[in-house]
């Protein structure tokens, strides 16, 4: 197996492991650090966003639901992804994360940690006509060699 496939497999395995992060304490989410918009302001990001990561053989469907804004300026947010299959045939497990999201101008940040303390994030950047650019990132030991697999476009459902 070449290095690119190994790195990709490790990233997807890391993603699969984050499915257990919903059990972690997200009460002090890293997104809670810093300022966000006033609690009474409407947000472009509120609603349901759907798309597909370019992972595995046929990609992996994803949905991000941005709920109401609380008085602390944070949004209840759910990030979920569907099943897939690696090019080598191994499964990509589906999962879901509940975390706090924070609006920062034309960006919306969702961050969480898995049980091992590795931080993950999805950043949404406001697009045109009910679309956002989504970028997945991790502070874990695995670095993607192909950044196109970590970026996709989502549309409002």
Reported as a single tens digit per residue, the pLDDT across 25-72 is 344 444 444 444 455 557 999 999 999 999 888 999 999 999 999 999
State how far the Cα of 143 lies from the Cα of 11, in Å rounded to an integer.
8
According to the model, what pLDDT value does residue 27 have?
Answer: 42
Q: Which residues contact 19 (CB under 8 A, 6 or more apart)?
A: 93, 94, 95, 96, 97
Residue range of the domain that includes 126: 3-156
Answering whether pTM is above 0.95, one says no
pLDDT over 90, % of the chain: 54
For residue 55, the SS3 value is coil
131-143 in b/e form (b: 16+ CB < 10 A) is bbebebebebebe
Asked if residue 97 has pLDDT above 50, the reply is yes
CATH number at residue 134: 2.40.128
Domain count, the chain: 1
According to the model, what pLDDT value does residue 13 have?
Answer: 42
Q: What torsion do the CA atoms of 119, 100, 115, 28 make, to the nearest 10 degrees?
A: 90
């Amino acid at each position: 197996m070449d290095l690119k496939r190994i790195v990709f497999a490790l990233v997807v395995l890391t993603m699969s492991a984050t499915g257990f992060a919903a059990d972690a304490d997200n009460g002090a989410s890293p997104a809670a650090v810093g300022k966000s918009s006033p609690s009474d302001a409407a947000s472009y990001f509120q609603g349901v966003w759907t798309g597909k990561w370019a992972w595995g053989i046929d990609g992996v469907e994803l949905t991000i639901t941005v709920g109401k804004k609380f008085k602390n300026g944070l949004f209840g947010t759910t990030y979920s992804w569907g099943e897939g299959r690696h090019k080598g045939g191994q499964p990509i497990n589906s999962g879901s994360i509940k975390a706090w999201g924070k609006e920062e101008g034309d960006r919306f940040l969702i961050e969480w940690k898995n049980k091992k303390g590795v931080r993950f994030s999805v950043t949404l950047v406001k697009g045109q006509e009910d679309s956002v650019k989504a970028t997945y990132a991790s502070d874990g030991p695995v670095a993607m060699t192909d950044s196109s697999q970590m970026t996709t476009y989502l549309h409002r459902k």
